[in-house]
Structure formats: structure tokens, C-alpha cells
């Protein structure tokens, strides 16, 4: 099968890595799409697509996973054309792996095979939890590959996430 | 008078039908605008403009209401140009029927006659209530015209609304 | 068959009317899409979608053609999502009538039945020719329905077309 | 130094005026950017950029502050290009005054000097508080310059803010 | 009268300066709009809005013209909403000075007073001519204020205009 | 060095391949950007980004070139933010290879090292020439890698290019 795996990867963590490892050997091609590629510097999307690309590339290389195509794709805020939008940027695929019910609904309506991946320990392995731990100064480094820790530290990513999370004191500026 | 009636019609229900019936006979022309036409597959806007167009067309035909022009209009997220935006897509009108205070404010600032329609039983006849009933598996079919029920069932609309309403289990995908 | 007929209708002329008349009786539904609906006040697209809507509606009414749905659709400047874009705004269709090879190519790639209409006298019955005659003060009124002449005169459309066609004297303004 | 002072100014109040007064004498140039310039007619952004421009211009003139450049800038919803976006519209600057941590983070990442202004009495001098008082019919006039009161009254701004704040009764219209 | 003077000012030249001088004394307010503010680095629009803002500001200051408001406005590529778009960014005005027939047409359709300025020597005083002379290494410095020459030289503007004008050798890159 | 190589690759040809081969061994990282990724079905950009991605991937694999990252990037039609836009989607780079003077100008203004590649036989090895030969039914297959020929044939690409190149007979449709 030709697999499409879509996520925001803010940042990539061991939960994502398990999905890649489970499906890569069964797949003829494997495309990992960095969704919401236009987003950065928000609590929900702190890293640019380029930063996420660098993290994912290094994390896969460290595991000797070679055949993944990494493709950043900007959002199109119209669900009725979203499948066509994704199709236009990547080589053909037949199977979409996604944990998101709407993503599965949209691709299923267009005739794709959709797979809901097995759950790993989602109370720990989720981008939201990792960002929460960074903001609250808890330990997060064991939830992501070592190379991802190094890149986040090199770009002062924890400082950025905390800045994005701060309450604005008033209305003086936007 | 030449009437503009704006709504999202997610889906059209008997409350909307009453407004049409009340004003159609008093109007020289009657344009029904499907607003937020670019939206679909969300809890608030589950149906595409095309699906809504089909429902409205059939519901009006079943009541032998012939002279309504149905026009889908995409949003422009700038209220300062919104009236000009609407004006550019439809034949001239002088009267805007709307239950929404901002819509009335914007058209009134540009010199239009604005009318707040009488209230029907809004605890039942509202798109929000109908979608809530669908999600919670309560009875909703008596709130909309029969042809609307048939179309929603034909496109598996109740399944779609439930998929749009599901909590995303985590952050694996967007 | 369920027919989609796409054009810009700048303005609607007897060539368009012949296509409608030829296919309306063979069709279960007939949707006339006003393309490039966001355009106006240019040489190529002098009239707003709303003005074009008014002309088409009147021209069809004068011929007692009742069952045409008129739908203005804004452009999406990405051909790879254009078919999905059109599909999202109108009820289902299976057949696309178009004289434009790219339009036929795009719909054919998505599995639609496409029809190239017979040629009427295209040296006369084309929007481009009509606009040229207006600019050069030649006779154009016999190429379009009488009600279209009346609407263009009422909105001072010939003056507008001439203003849109004027060479800008320099670079003082944009 | 060449100062950039960014805000939404919905409306300009004495807190903003104090920032201008504190830094204007120390600055070679002082550019006041009206952010979210495309917004209006919402609870958070009731006034158009043009209305805000008029209020700011008059408030500064009444204090004989002459050398401020007022520049409305529309949002670009991509933080990764936002600094370049702002740079492209205004003359060069080196210092950004902002109370907003994200604004400071973004300009600091691009090498700008960023300053967090001293706090004035923010429980009173904030746009949010002023809009709240208008909605709830409390006294707000002493929080903004007199000329701003006059302009808001002339454009019936308090009525508009109240219309923007009203709950929509249902889903009949958008 | 309250004047709006719209141009692209690529760059501001003595033709523009004469218009300002002629109308400034007759005007209660005078707003100079830098149009196509989002454009730069093309043959037709080589300078950013910020660079143009700096040139205009200095050229007016050197002539002791103080009361002009300079406002960059991005294009909205829909002429039917363009007047509303401009209105939303600047204080009220009643008179539009423009050499461009379409600009005059659009503002006149909305009820504004429009003025076509007298012609200065347009074979020399036009942005197009100035850019042509720069590309072909002819003398251009006497067509614009001295401060504009200095700014263009400081930002290596002549090199940029020549780079923008070069034919692309092939299709290797975009 | 960390190389960025930007093109539209409509389609990839032996001229592009030579650039990759010349620089890949000297580079620590090599990112090939598919520009104008949103375009397709035009004479100048017949293939979608996904189709181009597939061709490039196969052409590189056939030459055993492994370490190239292929990244489609949509245009942002504002040159003042374009470098920031590109930076946001890909890992860091320091050197930009481009034949296009404007591309080199923009990256040089932001401090990048820019390289103009040596000329190969550009009368033959250019996308424009290849598309011209396809339209005029001349031999083009020896200008591109064999796998590219196979993909173009599989997607009926020559038919599409000819459809995109056809003159529209009139104005009946858009």
C-alpha cells in the first residue's frame, strides 16, 4: 500500500515514531505530511514547518528509516476541497493513517482506505502533553527522540513555547 | 419591496420556511442567500453550499414557492467591505431580513431597510438544536421539511455530523 | 442528465441562449454558473456578478425558461482543486457543457461527461465582440436579448466599458 | 532610536498616550502602527482602521504631538513572515515597544531591540475595559481623550459596540 | 474639501509634487495613499511601501509640507469592493484626485467628487519613464526630489530595478 | 555548504540533473524546492506539484542520488516576504543556486550566498522548449530522464499540455 500519514508534529514524539515503524515495512511508499505548515509561534503550533522538517528528518535518520517522504502542506480552510488540495502536492497514495475522525471522514468520502492507528500511551505521547510539560517546567525529554531534544534546545524552543503561552497583560498591543 | 434573506441554513427548517412564506407575497423579488458558502464538514456548518442548495430548492418546490433566487455567497472576513461584497453578487435589493443584530447593524449603516422577523419556537426551530438532536440521537425529523430529511439521509449526513462532533483523541493528527 | 453550463456571461448573448434552449429540454436539472463572479469593472469582465445575474434572469424569464438555477461562483486560482470547488457550491451534476478545452480537460479528468456545444456564429455572438463594438461605438444591440440592452443602459454599462478600456495616460495613479 | 509602537487602539486611551509621550522625545522617528487594520464591527475590534486613524490623529494633535507617523497594517496570519510583513510597510526602525510577549519574541528573534513599557493603571486603561463599560452603560469617557469621545459619539460608536456584543438569538441568520 | 490622492509612487517625482502643492492649500485634509502597497521587487513596482513611505515623507518635509497623511494600502483584487476597502483604512474624504479613468469611474459610481489633475510634462514626469531611464543608464535624477535620489542610492535601488528588468535566461528557476 | 535549489521543474530535465550532480557532493544538505507548487494545468505549469514530486523522486533514484530533500512550496505573491516564506518551510541553508536574477537579488538582499549555475545547452534543456516540442509534436523524450517520459505518458501529460495550449475559440465559457 501507499501510505499517507498526516500530523502537525509539534514536535514529533515516540507515539509518531511507533506509527512510522509499524507501517513502513508494509508500505510501498510512505509520505509523512507536516500539516498546518504555515503555522508557528503559537501555543498549539510553536515550531515552523522548517524546524519540524529538521526534527523529523533527524529522528528518522537516527533510526535508519530512509524511505519516508516528508512534505509540509499549508492548510486550506475549506474542507470540501481539502482532499484535492492534499492530492495535488504529493505522489499518489491509497491509504490514510489518522487518529482524527474528521480526516478519516473526508478521505473516506473520497474513496480512500482509512486506518485508525493503535493507541500508544496517549496521556504521555502527545504534542499537547509535551508542550504542557515544557511550559510547566516538568520533564519532557524522554517523550521525544534525543535529536529532537537537541534541536529544540538549539533553537531555544522551550523559551519560545513559554513566550507563546503567556497571558497578555492587557490590550495595549495585539 | 426587494428582499434579501440571509442565513446559513444548516439545515433549512420550518422556522426558515415561515419567514419565506410570510414575506414572499409582499415582495417583488426575494433572494435567499446561503451564507458561509465555503464552509462544510464542521459541527456548525456540516453541509456544503451545494448540499444546502439542493435541500432548499426541494423544500421550496414542495411548497410550490417558485420565485425565490437561491445564491450561495462565501464569507469575506472584513465587515467593513461585507455589504459591498454581498451587493456585488445579487440583483438589487432594498430590505434585509435578519435575526442577527450585526447583520442588521451593517446593512443599516449602509442605508438599507432592516427587519427582525417574528420569533417562531426557537428552542426547537434552530439549526443548532437540530444538529444537537442528531448528535445525541434524539428525534429531529419533525423540525425540517420531509425532503430535507430524505436528502440528509441520502448523503449520510447524520453520520457526518457525528464525525464532526467527535472529540479528537489526541494530537497525533490535526 | 444533470447539466452544468459555465460561462462568464459578459454579457449573456444569443449564443448562450441557444445553448440553454438546446439542452434544457433534455435535462433533469440545468445549472448555469456565472464564473469569475468576483470580477467587475475590467475590459474583460465589466459587469458584477449581481448585474450579470439580473440580466440572465430577465433574459430567461422573457423566453419562459423557468427551471434554470443561476449560481455565481468565485474563481479559485488553482486548477487542481477547481472541480472540487465548483462541486461544493451546486447540486450534483453529471454533464458539463463548455466550449473551453481546459474546462473540459479538468472535468474529464474527474470523470464527468463533457460536451462541446455546436458553434453558432461566433464572429458575432461572443462577449469579446460585443464589448469591442460598444467601445468602438458600433451596433451591438441585436446580439443580446432586449432586456439585456435595457439593463446595460440603465446601469450606464456602455460608459463603464469605455472607461475600463481607456489607456492610462501615465503612472500618476494606479 | 527609531521606534515602532504597535497596537490595535480600540480605541486609543490615556495608557497609549503615556507611552507616546514617554518615548517621543527620545526618538528620532516614531511610527504608530494600527494593527489588525482589516478588522471592524466585532466586540474586540469595533472600529475600522480609518476611524481609529481619525481618533489617534486628533488625540495627538490636541497634545501638539506632531512627528508621529500613523500606519494601518493588515494582519498576516503567519507569524513566521510577520516581521518581514511589517518591515515592508514602514520606514526603517530599530526598537519595538510592546506589552505583548509574542510580539517581543518575534521581533527579538529577528534582532530588534524590544521594550516592555511600564504599566499604567491597566485595570482602567485598556481597550477591553473601555468596551466593557460601554456595553454595560458605565462611565468610560474619562479614560480616553476628549476628542476620542466626540468621534465615538459622532459615529454612534457606543450603539455599534452594543450591537456587536449582543448574543445571537439563534441560528436563523449568521 | 477633504482630498484623497492615490498613486503607486514608484518613485514619487515632481509631477506628483505639483499635484500635492496645487491642492494642499485648498484642502482641509489631504491623504496620500500609497497603492499596491504589497508590491515590490518588480519592474513596475520596484520599491516596498516602506521605502516609498520614506521617500515621500522626506520629499514633503524638504518642501515644508506638513499636513499630508501618508497611508499605504494593499490591493484588493475586486473592484466591486475596492472603494469600501479604501474607505475602511482612512479618515473620511469627499474628493478623489486621480489621473486614472477606472479609479475615477469607481469613486464616481459611489458618489464621490472626482478630479482629473492638469497634465504636467508626462513624457518625463512618470514613474515608468524614470524606471526606463534607470534601466538604460540615462539621466533620471532631475525628475525627482534630491532626497529621493539619495534614498534610492542608499538602498541600491538602481541595481534592484535593473535586476527586476533582466530577462530570465531560461526556465531552470522560477 | 547547505544548498537550496529552486525551480518549477515543468518537467525536470537533464539541465536540472546536471546542477544536482555538480553540487550534491560539495553539499552537507541539498534541498530541492518545487516552486509555484499550487499551479497546474496551464501551459507554463502543466503538472501538479505531486506529479512533479513523483518525477523528480524517480529521476534521482535512478541515478542513485539519495540525500536530496524535495519540498513543494506555494507562491506568496509578495516579494518582500518571500525569503521569510521559503525559510519557514525548510531546514536551514546558506547557499541558493538559481539562474533567475530576481531570486538571486532577493536572497542576496537577505545575506545569502547566491550562485548562478553554469549554462548547459539551454536552447534544448529548458522546460519551455520541452513543452513547445510536445505541443508541436516534435521529439522531446531525449531531453528528460527515461522515468520522466514514462510518468508523463502514464498520466497522459502530452494530451494535457496540448489542451492547455489550445486557443479558446471564443468567450462562451471561461
Between D108 and B174, the more confident residue is D108
User: What's the whole-number mean pLDDT along residues B157-172?
Assistant: 74
Q: Is C83 on the interface with A (CB under 8 A)?
A: yes
Confidence (pLDDT) at D167: 57
Question: Among residues C61, C9, C65, which one has the least CA distance to residue C35?
Answer: C9
Q: Percent of chain B beyond pLDDT 70?
A: 95
Q: Is D142 on the interface with B (CB under 8 A)?
A: no
Q: Is F119 on the interface with E (CB under 8 A)?
A: yes
Q: Is D35 on the interface with E (CB under 8 A)?
A: no
pLDDT exceeds 80 at position A46:
yes
User: What's the whole-number mean pLDDT along residues F22-33?
Assistant: 96
**Which candidate in A74, A77, A81 is best for mutational testing of the C interface (most C CBs within 10 A)?**
A81
pLDDT exceeds 60 at position C171:
no
pLDDT classification of D168: cutoffs 50, 70, 90: low
Confidence (pLDDT) at B165: 87
Residue B100: list chain D partners with CB under 8 A.
168, 172-174
Contact D52, D35 (CB under 8 A): no
**DSSP 8-class letter at E34:** E
Provide the CB-side half-sphere exposure for F148 (13 A, CA).
25
pLDDT exceeds 50 at position A163:
yes
- Distance (Å, rounded) from C-alpha F86 to C-alpha F82? 6
pTM for the model stands at 0.92
- Distance (Å, rounded) from C-alpha C18 to C-alpha C22? 6
Closest Cα in chain E, distance from residue F150 (Å): 22
Cβ distance C91 to B53 less than 8 Å, yes or no, reads: yes
Between B127 and C167, the more confident residue is B127
Residue C71: list chain B partners with CB under 8 A.
53, 71-72
pLDDT exceeds 60 at position B170:
no
Subunits next to F (3 or more Cβ pairs <8 Å) are A, C, D, E
Q: Is F46 on the interface with E (CB under 8 A)?
A: no
Three-state DSSP at F121 gives: coil
Three-state DSSP at A82 gives: helix
Confidence (pLDDT) at B173: 40
Q: Round to the nearest angstrom and report the end-to-end CA distance of chain A.
A: 47
Contact C6, F173 (CB under 8 A): yes
pLDDT tens per residue, range A87-100: 999 999 999 998 88
Averaged pLDDT score across all residues of chain D: 92
Q: Is C119 on the interface with F (CB under 8 A)?
A: yes
Averaged pLDDT score across all residues of chain B: 92
- Distance (Å, rounded) from C-alpha D88 to C-alpha E38? 8
- Distance (Å, rounded) from C-alpha A132 to C-alpha A10? 12
**Which candidate in A37, A59, A71 is best for mutational testing of the F interface (most F CBs within 10 A)?**
A71
Q: Is A22 on the interface with B (CB under 8 A)?
A: no
Which member of C40, C72, C88 has the closest CB to residue B48?
Answer: C88
DSSP string, D25-39: TT-SEEEEEE-STT-
- Distance (Å, rounded) from C-alpha F41 to C-alpha B76? 28
Confidence (pLDDT) at D170: 41
Confidence (pLDDT) at F167: 57
Sequence-separated (6 or more) residues with CB below 8 Å from residue C136: none
pLDDT classification of A13: cutoffs 50, 70, 90: very high
Q: How many CB pairs under 8 A join D and E?
A: 58
Confidence (pLDDT) at C49: 98
CATH superfamily of E2-165: HUPs (3.40.50.620)
Which member of F41, F170, F173 has the closest CB to residue C6?
Answer: F173
Q: How many CB pairs under 8 A join A and B?
A: 68
Confidence (pLDDT) at F10: 97
Task: Please name the residue of chain C whose CA is at the shortest distance from the CA of residue E117.
Answer: C172
Q: Torsion angle, CA of E13/E16/E21/E23, rounded to 10 degrees?
A: -170
Query: At B25, phi and psi to the nearest 5?
Result: -75, -25
ipTM of the complex: 0.92
User: What's the whole-number mean pLDDT along residues A57-63?
Assistant: 97
Residue D42: list chain B partners with CB under 8 A.
79
pLDDT exceeds 50 at position D174:
no
Question: Which of A30-34, A75-79, C18-22, F120-124 has the lowest average pLDDT?
Answer: F120-124
Strand partners, A6: A33
- Distance (Å, rounded) from C-alpha A66 to C-alpha C108? 37
pLDDT tens per residue, range C125-168: 999 999 999 999 999 999 999 999 999 999 999 999 998 888 55
pLDDT exceeds 90 at position A71:
yes
Q: Torsion angle, CA of B53/B73/C73/B19, rounded to 10 degrees?
A: 40
Confidence (pLDDT) at D119: 72
- Mean pLDDT by runs of 10 across the 174 residues of chain E is 96 96 96 96 95 98 95 93 96 93 92 89 90 96 98 96 72 40
pLDDT exceeds 90 at position B99:
no
Confidence (pLDDT) at E168: 52
pLDDT exceeds 80 at position D137:
yes
Confidence (pLDDT) at D70: 98
F13-F16-F21 Cα angle (round to 5): 120
**Which candidate in F4, F78, F103 is best for mutational testing of the E interface (most E CBs within 10 A)?**
F78
Q: Is A111 on the interface with C (CB under 8 A)?
A: no
User: What's the whole-number mean pLDDT along residues D36-56?
Assistant: 96
Confidence (pLDDT) at A119: 72
- Distance (Å, rounded) from C-alpha B87 to C-alpha C161? 20
pLDDT tens per residue, range D21-30: 999 999 999 9
Q: How many CB pairs under 8 A join B and D?
A: 69
pLDDT exceeds 50 at position B2:
yes
Confidence (pLDDT) at C167: 57
- Distance (Å, rounded) from C-alpha F159 to C-alpha F164? 9
Q: Is E77 on the interface with F (CB under 8 A)?
A: no
Question: Among residues B48, B156, B151, B138, which one has the least CA distance to residue A105?
Answer: B156
Amino acid at each position: 500500500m501507499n501510505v499517507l500519514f498526516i500530523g502537525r508534529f509539534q514536535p514529533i514524539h515516540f507515539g509518531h515514531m511507533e506509527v512510522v515503524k509499524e507501517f513502513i515495512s508494509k508500505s510501498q511508499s510512505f509520505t509523512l505530511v507536516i500539516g498546518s505548515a504555515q503555522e508557528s509561534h503559537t501555543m498549539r503550533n510553536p515550531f515552523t514547518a522548517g524546524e519540524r522538517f529538521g526534527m523529523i528528518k533527524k529522528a528518522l535518520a537516527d533510526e535508519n528509516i530512509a524511505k519516508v517522504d516528508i512534505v509540509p502542506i499549508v492548510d486550506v480552510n475549506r474542507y470540501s476541497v481539502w482532499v484535492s488540495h492534499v492530492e495535488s502536492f504529493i505522489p499518489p497514495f491509497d491509504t490514510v493513517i489518522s487518529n482524527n475522525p474528521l480526516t478519516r471522514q473526508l478521505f473516506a468520502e473520497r474513496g480512500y482506505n482509512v486506518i485508525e492507528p493503535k493507541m500508544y500511551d496517549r496521556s504521555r505521547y502527545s504534542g499537547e502533553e509535551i508542550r504542557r510539560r515544557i511550559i510547566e517546567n516538568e520533564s519532557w525529554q524522554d517523550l521525544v527522540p534525543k535529536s529532537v531534544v537537541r534541536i529544540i534546545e538549539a533553537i531555544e524552543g522551550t523559551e519560545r513555547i513559554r513566550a507563546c503561552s503567556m497571558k497578555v497583560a492587557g490590550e495595549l498591543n495585539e
